[in-house]
Structure 1
Amino acid sequence: MLNIIKPVLLNKIREGCRSDELRELIGVLELDVLNETKEAVRTAFEKYRLSLFDGEVSDCKSGEQFDELIEDLELFRDELGVDVAALLDAVEEAKSEFEANEEAWSDHMQDEWKERSRDERASARSVSDMFGSLRRAD
């Protein structure tokens, strides 16, 4: 069955695919050094590098997603013999920026929570004072 599907799959991936799809293909296909499969997957990687990589980095919304992308790139380097140093640097930089923004957002939310908590205590105190003054008026 693989012999029937493989040529169609190789043609399809030459059009480009995401890193997770490429990773899965590498796991399923046998990548002999001198065969057309490895060349097709390298072509798919080049398409990915040129047209899909930046979008995938932008789509990362957690540290785990950045780490998965790094693992995929390292797999491509090891299995395909492609240079991913610049791509790894870009992911690491984006991850650092994401983590800094996440920390700043966390600090902002904590400050906002503290302010809201103070306002609620002040409001509760003011209501209590108001009812206390009504009791004393009797």
Structure 2
Amino acid sequence: MTDPAPPTDSAPSPAATTIARTVQHSLEAERRDLPTQAELERRTRELRYREAVDQRWLRLGVGAIVFLLSAGWLAADIVLTLAAGWGELGGRPFKLDSTVIVAFLTTSTATVIGLFLVFLRWLYPQVTPPS
């Protein structure tokens, strides 16, 4: 037995015409939605502005954190120095070897200065001019 031949009517089915119209409509909509050069430039300026504002807020926040961390660290240096000089801390006797005090003050000062340098180089990057 052979399979019967498919129907020969050339009229497309209603589903096929609906799909074809939908595809055609979508293609036309995409063509209409292509942005112009002026629109692309406006969007680029808007994105650059948003990036600059976001970067400003980020740098402001990080700057505040670096400042508070450095201020706390230097306050600890002052408290340690005063406690070592007076010989008590919080009403209790306090005694540290002078080499420990010098090492702590030296490393903490170097750390605070380094922290500020890293932050300032990030805040104000050196921009090399294009060649």
Larger Rg: 2
Structure holding more helix per residue: 1
The two structures share one fold, judged by TM-score above 0.5: no
TM range (shorter): 0.3 to 0.5
Q: TM-score if structure 2 supplies the norm length? A: 0.39
